[in-house]
Chain A
Amino acid sequence: MQIRRLFFVYLSALALLFASVAASMVLTEMSAQQLLDDGRNINVSGRQRMLSQRIIYLAQDLNVTTDQTADSAAIRTELLSAIQELESAIDTFLTSHTTLSGTEPLPEPRRRLYFGDTGGTGSLDERVRLYTQLARQIAADPQDEAALAGLIEIERAGLLDDLDAVVSNFEAASATRLAQLRRYEGYAMVTALLLVCFEIVFVFRPGHALIQRSLDNLQTRNQELEMAHAQLDAQNKTLRRQTTSLRRAYAESEKLRKEQADFTYSVSHDLKSPANTIHLSLNEIKASYGRDLNADGQELLGVALGTVRRMGDQIEDILQYAWATDERTPPEDINLNTCILNIKTDLSAVIEATNATVTHDPLPEIFAHKTQIKILLKNLMSNALKYHAQGQAPVVKISAHHLPLDNGIVLSVTDNGIGIPEKDFDKIFNLFHRLHVRETYPGTGLGLSTCMRIAKNHGGGISVSSELGNGSRFDVILYAPKAKPFLPKLEVAA
């Protein structure tokens, strides 16, 4: 059960309890008031009974007193006082009677008692009025025998009994009302008790359990959190350690990379000098003894010279590959238009020999490693000029556009050459991989590997679109490098 619902039930039950206690208090107050009212009414009706008696006694006394004619002053005074008392008793009696019988609405039993003709002698109301009227006649004339006889007649006919019946009726009604009120009070008490029981069973106990459970839960969660915190702490420490060792490893790998570049450079350099010596020697043989060799010997010498020249080229290319991503010179702003013009000058011999057309769109200025970008573009343009069908003049176009989402730039080199089959798109970037034998298209298989390395060093890459026989387009994506070398983002498994 939710604590909010429990709280609602608790409040409702509490409100009901208060309501029932309040009801009980109101009932008590009401019964007290009722008792008071009833008591007064009973009192009045009792006094009425008493007054009727007194009236008849006084009336008889009065009659007797005047009868004896012994007229002393004392008797006279007594008579006067008796008349006065009778008058006042009659007044009170009549007033009480009017009050008790004139209450609207008058309960049916009492109405019957007052106004019903039960014994054939007229209703109590009529009799009382007649009785008081007769008493007044006696008070006016104590010798009125007929009036006295009337009084006695009414008295005998059961006036007292009927007045008693009224008293009893008042008492019975009061008892009934009290009993009813008591019953209501009992109900209110029972309701309150039931509510208390209900609260204990359905609110306090589940509430207690709920709170206990919540506390237990909180305690468990607290423990879990503490454990998680400890674990995180440990992981943090591990991560920090790993970060440190990764930084160290990165520095180490950078150092090794530089060392390897240096190593490759010195090896290539050292290889270059014997190759030069062989080249020179072979040239000397050709110059001094070439004429003495037969055709076979001359062919072999030619092959040897060609090979050693190629070896020189290969060493150059390896050097270029090794130094392609050297970052000893910082990146700078490069005007690509100037860059292309410079490369065209470098390649002018090939361009003239093949009758090629090399054009470029207005190119933007980029921030990059200048030497690398020059090697990249020169290799791509040199390839575009090289791989064309025999007798077809190469048409090479260089264009550039910015990438819309990030600040990358795409340099495209398009040619009308022999094209590349789609299955070989990936292979051409592999180190030393070639699609043609050297006789058809010379090369070392290092050019595009170097280009890819440079593109990746600028955070980008190279993609090819081509169709066999229908030219190729190389798209190079480049991003401006950070001015300083940065540590790579560390990805450590948690």
Chain B
Amino acid sequence: MNTEGILGRVMLIDDERFDRMMYQRIIGRSKLAQDIVEFSYAEDALAYLADPAQPQVDLILLDINMPRMSGFEFLEAADAQLGVEFRAAVVIMLTTSLSPDDQDRAAGYPAVRGYFNKPLEQLYLDQAVEICASARGTAP
């Protein structure tokens, strides 16, 4: 089955430059994404999503601990600003936080479909494909 570009446009939100670099490399190698946009501040990512001139994003990989606006604050703000449109989006948390509290809290947001612990591995990307497919209601 041809999975090339199946994830569509992927958004990376992570304050760690090196982590973003590694995600780019791994996702690039897998050829699962059509396009990747990355942000070091969640505020900038939110502005991007709210801008109608920008193309639609299919998958968001979101860190939790970030300066200024944390991953959870981003989820709140996006929910409030973008509403239904955002609730239908596919967000996967990608974080070093091992806290079960964070995991429970993330599960409370309708847009959040998965919770991965860093570092990102090929295995997670396969799961991400499945998650995206079930969220869209189509088999991969």
What 1/0 flags go to A429-449 for Cβ under 8 Å of B? 000111111110000000000
Complex CA gap A456/B66 in Å reads 27
Would you call A303 an interface residue if the criterion is a C-beta within 8 Å of the partner chain's C-beta atoms?
Answer: yes
Interface 0/1 of B6-29, CB less than 8 Å to A: 000000000111100100000000
Q: Which residues of B contact A436 (CB under 8 A)?
A: 67-68
- Count B interface residues, CB 8 Å: 11
Residue on B with the closest CB to A296?
B25
A176 contacts the other chain (CB 8 A): no
Chain A stretch 407-426: residues in CB contact (< 8 A) with chain B: 424
Interface residues of B in 30-81 (CB under 8 A from A): 40-41, 65-68
Residue A253 at the chain B interface, CB threshold 8 Å: no
Check B65–A438 contact: CB distance below 8 A. Answer: no
Q: How large is the interface on A (under 10, 10 to 19, 20 to 34, 35 or more residues)?
A: 10 to 19
Q: How far is the CB of A119 from chain B (nearest CB, A)?
A: 139
The distance from the CB of A470 to the nearest CB of chain B, in whole angstroms, is 19
| CB neighbours of A435 from chain B (8 A) | 67-68
In the docked arrangement, what's the CA distance between A432 and B67, Å?
10
Q: Please indicate the chain B residues that have their CB under 8 angstroms from the CB of A303 in the complex.
A: 18, 21
Q: State in angstroms the CA–CA spacing of A432 and B65 once bound together.
A: 9
A residues 293-312 near B (Cβ < 8 Å) are: 303, 306-307
Q: Which residues of B contact A439 (CB under 8 A)?
A: 17, 40
Q: Which residues of A contact B41 (CB under 8 A)?
A: 437
Residue among B15, B40, B41, B68 facing the most chain A CB atoms (10 A cut-off):
B68
Shortest C-beta distance, A296 to chain B (Å), equals 9
Complex-state Cα separation, A13 to B65, whole angstroms: 93
Distance of A433 Cα from B21 Cα, bound (Å)? 23
Residues of chain B lying within 8 A (CB to CB) of residue A432 = 65
Q: Which residues of A contact B66 (CB under 8 A)?
A: 437
The chain A residue sitting closest to B14, CB to CB, is A437
In the bound complex, what is the Cα–Cα distance between A239 and B75 (angstroms)? 49
Complex CA–CA separation, A367 to B41 (angstroms):
43
- Interchain CA distance A303-B24 in the complex, whole Å: 15
Q: Which residues of A contact B68 (CB under 8 A)?
A: 424, 435-436
C-alpha spacing A424/B67, complex, angstroms: 10
When distances are taken between beta carbons in the complex, the residues of chain A under 8 Å from B17 are 437-439
How far, in Å, is B109 (CB) from chain A's closest CB? Answer: 22
Of residues 33 through 76 on chain A, the ones whose CB sits less than 8 Å from some CB of chain B are none
A438 and B16 contact, CB distance less than 8 A? yes
Q: Are B21 and A438 in contact (CB under 8 A)?
A: no
Kindly list chain B residues whose C-beta atoms are within 8 Å of the C-beta of A433: 67
B116 to chain A, nearest CB (A): 20
B18 touches A437 (CB 8 A): no
Nearest A residue (CB) for B68: A435
Q: How near does chain B come to A487, taking the closest CB pair, in angstroms?
A: 34
A168 to chain B, nearest CB (A): 128
Find chain B residues with CB under 8 A from A437 CB. Answer: 15-17, 40-41, 66-67
Q: 1/0 per residue A179-206: CB within 8 Å of B?
A: 0000000000000000000000000000
**In the complex, what residues of A have CB within 8 A of residue B21's CB?**
303
A149-B13 Cα distance, complex, nearest whole Å = 169
Q: How far is the CA of A433 from the CA of B68 in the complex (A)?
A: 9
Shortest Cβ distance from A433 into B: residue: B67
> In the complex, what residue of chain B is closest to A432 when comparing beta carbons?
B65
Cα-based distance from A306 to B17 in the complex (angstroms): 12
A448 CB, nearest partner CB in chain B, Å: 13
Establish whether residues B18 and A307, one from each chain, have CB atoms under 8 Å apart when the complex forms.
yes
Q: How far does the alpha carbon of A435 sit from the alpha carbon of B15 in the complex, in Å? A: 11
What's the Cα separation between A437 and B15 when bound, in Å?
6
Q: Which of chain B's residues have a CB closer than 8 A to the CB of A307?
A: 18
Q: Please, how many angstroms separate the alpha-carbon atoms of A307 and B16 in the complex?
A: 11
Q: Mark A307-347, 1 if CB is under 8 A from B, else 0.
A: 10000000000000000000000000000000000000000
Cα(A437)–Cα(B42), bound, Å: 11
Minimum CB–CB distance from A449 to chain B (whole Å) comes to 14
Chain B proximity of A436: nearest CB distance (Å): 5
Task: State the CA gap A438–B18 with chains docked (Å).
Answer: 10
Closest chain B residue, CB of each to CB of A310? B18
Question: Could you show 15 A-B contacts with beta carbons less than 8 Å apart?
Answer: A303-B21, A306-B18, A307-B18, A432-B65, A433-B67, A434-B67, A435-B67, A436-B68, A437-B17, A437-B66, A437-B67, A438-B15, A438-B16, A438-B17, A439-B17
7 tightest Cβ-Cβ pairs between the two chains A and B: A434-B67, A437-B15, A437-B40, A303-B18, A435-B67, A436-B67, A439-B17
Given contacts A424-B68, A433-B67, A437-B40, 20 further A-B contacts (CB under 8 A): A303-B18, A303-B21, A306-B18, A307-B18, A432-B65, A434-B15, A434-B67, A435-B67, A435-B68, A436-B67, A436-B68, A437-B15, A437-B16, A437-B17, A437-B41, A437-B66, A438-B15, A438-B17, A439-B17, A439-B40
